[in-house]
Amino acid sequence: MRSIWRTVDRDIALVCLAVGVTSVSYGAVSVASGLPFWFPVVMGTLVLAGSSEFLFVGIVGAGGSPVAGALAGLLVNARHLPYGLALPDVLGRGWRRALGVHVMNDESVVFALTRKENAARSYWTSGIGVLVCWPLGALLGAALGSTVSDPNAFGLDAMFPVVILALILPSLRDRVARRPALLGAVIALVCAPLLPTGLPLLASLAALAAVPLLGGLGTSPSASADASPSADARPSAGPSAGTSGDAESERGRA
């Protein structure tokens, strides 16, 4: 049991570290876009949603309306609706639910779903860890933003999808989960050149609508297995037929 706890804590610590490093890029990009020093820190604490924050900063930095940026961020965060439906027992009730919804993010949800035995502990440890590391990384990035001309040149934004992929790889061993996941990845790749940042991830949720069809494709072995009892039922008629034949022979001898 202790080894399990150590594994969970080590993985969460590494993910939170990666989130903090990614947030450095977010803070630097925000200040380089002309936003005030404090803005990414406040956003990182109150919004706590990396993809929507990057999208908002990108829209506002390009001269777009803050209202348009906020609406785009809300649209990207719509993926949290199925997240909440998948974790009703983990969130708790009352003030715990309010705090649990606030710290809900891709990392905490993935940890809770992939480590079901320690779902609550993994969710809260990861969520609170991200709540601490994301604003701190944004603060450091904002401090460095005036000295780094192009923060994207470091490729820090690539850490976020890599971390998520590493977390979900064990779940992809299941064929039922692998099929909609691959379909969602294809949808996201197709939409990436066509939609703004964050929206391809939301579009990939359309793969969930195909889950019944994809699951049905995998039921053919069970269907053949279900057909075998009917085949076995035919030989069972043999003894009854043989019994009736013996009865007729007995009547003939009589």
Q: What pLDDT, on a 0 to 100 scale, did the predictor assign at position 235?
A: 44
φ, ψ (nearest 5 deg) of residue 227: -75, -20
Residue 128 CA neighbour count, 13 Å, CB half: 9
Total tally of structural domains belonging to the chain: 1
Q: What pLDDT, on a 0 to 100 scale, did the predictor assign at position 193?
A: 84
Q: What pLDDT, on a 0 to 100 scale, did the predictor assign at position 157?
A: 57
Q: In this structure, is residue 150 part of a structural domain?
A: yes
Q: What pLDDT, on a 0 to 100 scale, did the predictor assign at position 167?
A: 60
Q: In this structure, is residue 253 part of a structural domain?
A: no
Q: In this structure, is residue 250 part of a structural domain?
A: no
Q: In this structure, is residue 218 part of a structural domain?
A: no
Q: In this structure, is residue 39 part of a structural domain?
A: yes
Domain that holds residue 50: 2-173
pTM, entire model: 0.61
Q: In this structure, is residue 180 part of a structural domain?
A: no
Q: In this structure, is residue 91 part of a structural domain?
A: yes
Q: In this structure, is residue 90 part of a structural domain?
A: yes
Residue ranges for the chain with pLDDT beneath 50: 1, 3-5, 7, 216-254
CA distance 193 to 160: 19
Q: What pLDDT, on a 0 to 100 scale, did the predictor assign at position 153?
A: 63
